[in-house]
Amino acid sequence: MPELPEVETIKNQLTRLIVGKKISQVDILLPKIVRLDKNKFKKIVIGAKINKLSRRAKILIIELNNSWSILIHLKMTGQLIYQSTINNKQLAINNQATKNKHTHVIFYFSDGSRLFFNDLRQFGYLKLVQQEELGAFWQKEGLGPEILDKKFTFDRFKEILDRRPRVKIKQFLMDQKNIAGIGNIYADEVLFFASIHPLRQANSLSTQNVKDIFQGIKKILALAIKLKGTSSSDYLDAHGQPGKFATRLKVYGRKGEKCVKCNGLIEKIKIAGRSACFCPSCQR
């Protein structure tokens, strides 16, 4: 599932690839993906130029020059794959850079390049929001602070955590209303970094525990962005390439494998319907 590092990677790549380009055509192959009548969607975006890209939590924002923004949520299996030109020989050998049975929306640019929105499980979506209404939209979503924001300090993190004294720490990290951008992968990795069991309640954590978690958030997400995300399932970057952070995973997806610290076995449990992988010896 694409989380903050994956969406940030795609944002950074597409900023270099599509900003300034004009949308000449849009193919909507699965109308439910677009949270608007497809003809109205096309009318708004065709002919518009892309001003900038940004991100809020796990949502990519494509700002157009006509006062509208396209919000894209990749959810579980969404992909945004860029192709420089229709007949580019170098990309033609990459099957991910061509239309396939999971391609639901295609953006065509006036220079011949294209952007594919693919989604195996079809949980992702595209939504149009007027730029002057974005503030109200985010407020309605109730998203917590951005992890990459300089204002997201240890004191701010501890203040938010102290409001939820009885919440299990794994649930806290994944709740987008607390902090924005962390999902299953990085919650597991952060807690392993901090040597904290995923079932620990917030009020059982010492100040040092909280500092270790905060440090883990900053360090692990920064490295994951540098390595262009984690391709443990369907995620690919905007060039159709897998992220490289999967080789650095210590616990996520490693049930039954040996712990890199103690050689004990990694276990997996369910917390509120979601899984958590951890080392029972290293994480207390």
In the residue annotation, 261 being an active-site residue is answered as no
Cα(96)–Cα(99) distance, integer angstroms = 8
Percent of the chain with pLDDT over 70: 95
Indicate which residue of 55, 58, 168, 254 is catalytic.
58
Domain span(s) for CATH 3.20.190.10 in the chain: 4-141
pLDDT of res. 94: 47
Catalytic: 151? no
**Which residue is catalytic, options 35, 52, 218, 274?**
274
Query: For the chain, what is the mean pLDDT?
Result: 94
Mean pLDDT of 223-244: 94
Structure confidence at residue 272 (pLDDT): 86
Whether residue 203 is predicted with pLDDT greater than 90 in this model: the reply is yes
pLDDT at 199 over 80: yes
Question: Which CATH architecture describes the domain 4-141?
Answer: Alpha-Beta Barrel (3.20)
**Would you call 2 a catalytic residue per the annotation?**
yes
Would you tell me which CATH number, out of the four given (3.40.50.10800, 3.30.70.890, 1.10.8.50, 3.30.420.40), belongs to the domain 154-278? Answer: 1.10.8.50
Q: Write the pLDDT tens digit of every residue in 53-107.
A: 999 999 999 999 999 999 999 999 999 999 987 655 444 444 455 689 999 999 9
pLDDT, residue 93, reads: 40
Per-residue confidence band for 232, with pLDDT thresholds at 50, 70 and 90: confident
Summarize pLDDT for 130-182 with one digit per residue, the tens.
999 999 999 999 999 999 999 999 999 999 999 999 999 999 999 999 999 99
